[in-house]
Each structure stands twice: as C-alpha cells, then as structure tokens.
C-alpha cells in the first residue's frame, strides 16, 4: 500500500503507537521511518493535533487506524493532510453484518447504563462496538490487571485490547512523549458484547464488574 503510493526511503510516515505493530512494520518494509503520534483518548485513534505536531519536511504520509469499531476524526485528519500535502491512508477493522452490529450496540447500551466504577466508552455515530473498551483507573487502588483477574475469577471473559505500545518495543523504541497512548495501554479493558451473549451473560458481566467497582475511584 505504501510503496504503491510512492512512499519509500527517506520518507517519514506518522502512525499510532497504540495497537498492533503491523502498521509500523509496513512502514519499515517500504523503506520509510515510522513516526509515532499520540491518540485521542475518546476514540483511541490518532489525534489530529498530535499528527500535525509530528509533521516534518520529510513526512510523506499518515496511516490512520480505526479502533474498536469507532471511526477516527477523519475530517480533522484529512485537513492536516491537505494543509501539509500528505497522503492520508486508512486501516479499519473488518466489518460485520448489520444485525450483528445492532445486537452489539444493544449490549453496549446495556453496559453503558449498568456499569459502575469504570469509565464506559463514548458513543458516536458509526460506532460498531467491535470491542467494548472501558477504562479501569488505578488511582493507587486495584489497577486494570488486578481488576481483570478478579473479573475472570467470577467467570466473565475480558481481555487487554492493546498491550505494549509500539514505541515501547525494543525495535521501535523512541524518546517521544505519548501520554494518552501510555495511559490507554495501562487502563483499557475489553468486555464481551458478542451477539451470542444472553441477558444472563450480560447480567453476570455487570455483577462481576460492579462488585469490584466500589474499590475504584470513579473516573470523570
């Protein structure tokens, strides 16, 4: 994709550090240098202001990755590309049938109203909830990993959606400040909203999380 677009040796490509390493790997395979920019804490996608701050005379492109079924702010990101003459490429997650998305949204809406002690995801037009990602704040109390372990012990599946940020990996280590990326990597936890889940399954998820929620300071 990048090579076909003319990106190559000597070019820089702005990419997110939050998520999979494959995007940075693709930049390297094209002969270019990945430059990491911070994310928007609500969408978990590249933040337009952070992208603009990362642009240099060598920047040739930006790769935007849509996360967890919520689209990035493409209006602002395309605006950055237009102002600086950059190619703006998008990578999204695989789609799902309409009825499956509708059922995920229904389950997400249930969790939105029932969960306590964690920060639920911000709704948005087009959000398909491919993953329902909450924030578990530490605040000197039980952290995300301890919370996840306790929830699993109560029979509820949960997982860390994006573990080590790419800029922390040895082969991509950069001296760059990405506070929102770091915070998201430390606090995010995905809860199940699959279409196959029953009402009892959803109640179990809420019960398991809320039993622990009192241990946490509410996130505002």
- pLDDT of the chain, 220 residues: tens digit per residue: 788 888 889 999 999 999 989 999 999 999 999 999 999 999 999 999 999 999 999 999 999 999 999 999 999 999 999 999 999 999 876 678 889 999 999 999 999 999 988 999 998 888 999 999 999 976 555 589 999 999 999 999 999 999 899 999 999 887 789 999 999 999 999 999 999 999 999 999 999 999 986 444 444 3
Q: Identify the architecture of domain 12-91 in CATH.
A: 3-Layer(aba) Sandwich (3.40)
pLDDT at 93: 67
Token pair, residue 194, equals: 């699959």
Crossing angle, helix 199-213 and helix 98-114, to 10 degrees? Answer: 30
CB 18 within 8 A of CB 55: no
β-bridge mates for residue 133, sequence order: 190
pLDDT at 213: 63
Secondary structure (3-state) at 25:
helix
Of 66, 191, 205, 94, which is closest to residue 135 (Cα–Cα)? 191
pLDDT at 43: 95
The domains of the chain are located at: 12-91, 98-213
pLDDT at 217: 47
pLDDT at 89: 95
CATH code for the part of the protein at 98-213: 3.90.1150.10
Give the CA distances from residue 186 to residues 1, 75, 164, 183, 212, in Å, rounded to whole numbers and listed in that order.
31, 28, 9, 5, 18
Give me the DSSP letters along 99-157. HHHHHHHHHHHHHHHH--SSBPPPP-TT---SSEEEE---TTSS-HHHHHHHHHHTT--
Does the fold of domain 98-213 match that of domain 12-91? no
CB 93 within 8 A of CB 117: no
pLDDT at 6: 85
pTM comes to 0.90
Pairing of strands 33-37, 12-16: parallel
């Amino acid at each position: 994709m990048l090579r076909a677009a003319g990106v190559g040796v000597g070019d820089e490509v702005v990419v997110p550090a939050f998520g999979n390493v494959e995007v940075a790997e693709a930049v390297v395979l094209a002969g270019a240098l990945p430059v990491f920019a911070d994310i928007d804490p609500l969408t978990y996608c590249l933040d337009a202001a952070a992208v603009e701050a990362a642009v240099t005379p060598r920047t040739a492109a930006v790769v935007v990755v849509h996360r967890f079924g919520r689209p990035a702010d493409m209006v602002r990101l395309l605006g950055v590309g237009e102002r600086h003459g950059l190619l703006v490429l998008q990578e999204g997650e695989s789609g799902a049938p309409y009825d499956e998305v509708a059922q995920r949204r229904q389950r997400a809406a249930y969790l939105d109203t029932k969960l306590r002690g964690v920060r639920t995801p911000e709704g948005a037009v087009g959000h398909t909830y491919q993953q329902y990602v909450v924030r578990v704040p530490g605040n000197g109390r039980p952290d995300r990993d301890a919370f996840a372990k306790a929830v699993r012990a109560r029979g509820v599946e949960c997982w860390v959606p994006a573990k080590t940020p790419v800029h922390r990996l040895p082969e991509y280590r950069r001296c760059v400040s990405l506070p929102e990326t770091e915070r998201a990597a430390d606090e995010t936890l995905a809860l199940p909203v699959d279409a196959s889940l029953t009402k009892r399954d959803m109640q179990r998820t809420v019960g398991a999380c809320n039993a622990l929620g009192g241990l946490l300071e509410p996130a505002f």
